[in-house]
Amino acid sequence: MQHRTLGRTGFSVTDIGCGLWGMSGWSGSDDEASLGALQLAVDLGCNFFDTAWAYGEGKSDGFLGKTLAANPGKRLYSASKIPPKNGRWPALPTYDYNDVFPADHVFAHADRIRHALGVDTIDLLQFHVWDDSWTDRPEFRNAVEKLKHDKIIHAFGLSLNRWQPANGIRAIRTGLIDAVQVIYNVFDQNPEDELFPVCQEHNIGVIARVPLDEGSLGGKMTRDTTFPDGDWRKGYFNPKNLNATLDRVDRLREDLPSGMTLPELAIRFILSNPVVSTIIVGMRKEEHVRGNLALSPAGGLDAGVIQKMRKHRWERSPAPWSD
């Protein structure tokens, strides 16, 4: 697999990594199959894994811990996230920083995550939500500096709220941030406008998340697709959004180069952007792991195809069902 540098962390990460949310939070998961998918990813050369305490209250961190323990000779990079104490996604400017990331909450979760991963130092620890109005809070600076000083973490990052890619730029400018995780895919191209130039300027690692638009760009969803109660996708792919999304997927298919599948187009669109350090794809099935990781050597798309992708950009803003 191809490697890229995760910004100023210097980590040499594979350009395609694994996202573990679905393994602990979505219906249709099978723990044994999930662990098998993670091991297959490692065997195929993948070295970057994104998890979060909120994914099953440590379940997903534990899966990654097992995978790290089973592969002691390999340098695998772990990224996890501290959940907001108030349990609210996304962050809003009306929330006080200390209600979301008070120091005791941050350090207690960092310890839980270290324990679940089985590591002394977490490669990349991220806040799971962010609002830039908190940037100048001294508690924020103190927490990040102490996490690093005490070697609890190697690097610190922010997971930016859905469809708010610029809500993190002020924090980047403080010098405290090493990497950001942002939704970037064929539909959601807006991080290119403001966020990516700032990341380039400050040598910030860019983790592209939700590369397949939560599954619609995998090409297998239909207008009859439904999800059970308790599966986050039930709200996200509500009938209105499902139909709007599949209308766009249908239009995208018209621009699919011959011989290329929709997930290949989607993932290689992101690989085309050199600002992106790694793409975290949610993949629980071995078939998906094999297919997606095999795209790494193929790299980006031709300029002509990229040009055609521009018209598929979708401007959207947060809705009550989107987080």
Place of tokens 């098998």: 36
13-34 residues labelled b (16+ CB within 10 A) or e (exposed): bbbbbbbbbbbbbbeeeeeeeb
Smallest distance, Å, CB 278 to ligand NAP? 11
User: Which CB, 97 or 127, lies closer to ligand NAP?
Assistant: 127
User: Which CB, 196 or 227, lies closer to ligand NAP?
Assistant: 227
Place of tokens 């590591």: 119
- Alpha-carbon torsion angle 102, 171, 17, 321, nearest 10: 70
Smallest distance, Å, CB 149 to ligand NAP? 25
User: Which CB, 219 or 318, lies closer to ligand NAP?
Assistant: 219
> What residues line the site for ligand NAP (CB under 6 A)?
19-22, 50, 81, 128, 159, 181, 209-215, 218-220, 263, 280-285, 288, 291-292
User: Which CB, 219 or 235, lies closer to ligand NAP?
Assistant: 219
* Residues contacting 287, CB < 8 A, separation 6+: none
Smallest distance, Å, CB 70 to ligand NAP? 20
Quick one: which of 283, 297, 129 has its CA closest to 217?
283
Parallel/antiparallel/unpaired status of strands 12-14 and 3-5: antiparallel
Smallest distance, Å, CB 180 to ligand NAP? 10
Smallest distance, Å, CB 96 to ligand NAP? 20
User: Which CB, 38 or 142, lies closer to ligand NAP?
Assistant: 38
User: Which CB, 31 or 150, lies closer to ligand NAP?
Assistant: 31
CB count within 10 Å of CB 315 equals 9
User: Which CB, 52 or 169, lies closer to ligand NAP?
Assistant: 52
Smallest distance, Å, CB 250 to ligand NAP? 16
Residue nearest ligand NAP, CB atom distance: 282
Quick one: which of 166, 315, 191 has its CA closest to 244?
315
Smallest distance, Å, CB 208 to ligand NAP? 9
Structure token pair of residue 197: 């130039």
Cα–Cα distances (Å) from 205 to 64, 196, 279, in that order, read 21, 10, 11
Structure token pair of residue 115: 């324990």
Q: What is the C-alpha separation between 77 and 62, in angstroms, rounded?
A: 14
